[in-house]
A and B are shown apart, each in its own frame.
Chain A
Amino acid sequence: MARINHDTVELWQGWQRRELRVDRCKDCGTWVFPPRPFCPGCWSDALVGTALGGAGRLVSYSLPRVAPGSPPVVSGVVALAEAPGVRLLARIVGIEPERVALGMPLALGWWEDDGGVYPQFGPVDAAPARPDGGAVGGVADEGAADGGAGEAGA
Chain B
Amino acid sequence: MNGWERAAIVGIGWSELARDSGVGPGSLIARAARAAVLDSGVARDAIDGVIGVYGTDSPTLWPGYVVDALGLPDVRWWDTAQPPSVTALSTAANAVLTGNCDYALCYHGKYRWANTSVVGRGDPLRQAPAHEFDPGLDHALVEHGGSMLWAARVMREHMARHGSTREDFARISVNNRTNAARNPRAVFRAPLTVEDYLAAPMIDDPMCLLDMDAPIDGALAVVVTTERRARDLPHPPVLVEAFASALPERNDGLLWPEADGLAARRAVANLFARSDLTPADIDLAYPYDGFTILAMLWLEALYTGPGEGPALLRESWSDDEQRLRLHGRVPVCTHGGNLSEGRATQGFGSVIEAVQQLRGDAGDRQVDAARSAVITGGMAGTNRSTILVSG
Interface residues of A (CB under 8 A from B): 1-5, 8, 11-12, 34, 59-67, 73, 75-77, 87-91, 97, 102, 113, 115-116, 118-119, 135-136, 139-140, 142
Contacts of B255 in A (CB 8 A): 77, 87-89
> Known contacts A8-B142, A62-B204; can you find 14 more A-B pairs with CB under 8 A?
A3-B142, A60-B157, A64-B149, A64-B152, A64-B205, A65-B202, A73-B135, A77-B153, A77-B254, A87-B256, A88-B140, A91-B137, A118-B136, A118-B138
A15 nearest in chain B by CB position: B141
Beta-carbon contacts of B189-221 to A below 8 Å, as 1s and 0s? 000000000000111111100000000000000
Contacts of A67 in B (CB 8 A): 130
Interface pairs A-B: 6 shortest CB-CB: A62-B152, A89-B140, A2-B138, A63-B205, A60-B153, A64-B129
Given contacts A64-B149, A75-B149, A77-B257, are A102 and B156 in contact (CB under 8 A)? yes
Choose among B135, B207, B255 the residue with the greatest number of A CB atoms under 10 Å from its CB: B255
A9 nearest in chain B by CB position: B141
Q: Judging by beta carbons under 8 Å apart, are A34 and B137 in contact? A: no
Q: How far is the CA of A31 from the CA of B312 in the complex (A)?
A: 39
Q: How far is the CA of A67 from the CA of B129 in the complex (A)?
A: 9
Contacts of A12 in B (CB 8 A): 141
Q: Judging by beta carbons under 8 Å apart, are B156 and A89 in contact? A: no
Q: Contact partner of A2 among B142, B152, B155, B203, CB < 8 A?
A: B142
Q: Judging by beta carbons under 8 Å apart, are B205 and A62 in contact? A: yes
Contacts of B258 in A (CB 8 A): 142
A-B contact count (CB 8 A): 107
Contacts of A5 in B (CB 8 A): 142
Q: Judging by beta carbons under 8 Å apart, are A34 and B154 in contact? A: no
B124 at the interface (CB under 8 A from A): no
Interface residue tally of chain B, by bracket?
Answer: 35 or more
Contacts of A4 in B (CB 8 A): 141-142
B338 CB, min distance to chain A CBs, angstroms: 20
Choose among A1, A77, A88, A113 the residue with the greatest number of B CB atoms under 10 Å from its CB: A77
B307 nearest in chain A by CB position: A140
Q: Contact partner of B206 among A8, A62, A77, A118, CB < 8 A?
A: A62
Beta-carbon contacts of B150-190 to A below 8 Å, as 1s and 0s? 00111111001100000000000000000000000000000
Q: Judging by beta carbons under 8 Å apart, are B153 and A61 in contact? A: yes
Q: Judging by beta carbons under 8 Å apart, are B204 and A65 in contact? A: yes
Q: Judging by beta carbons under 8 Å apart, are A139 and B161 in contact? A: yes
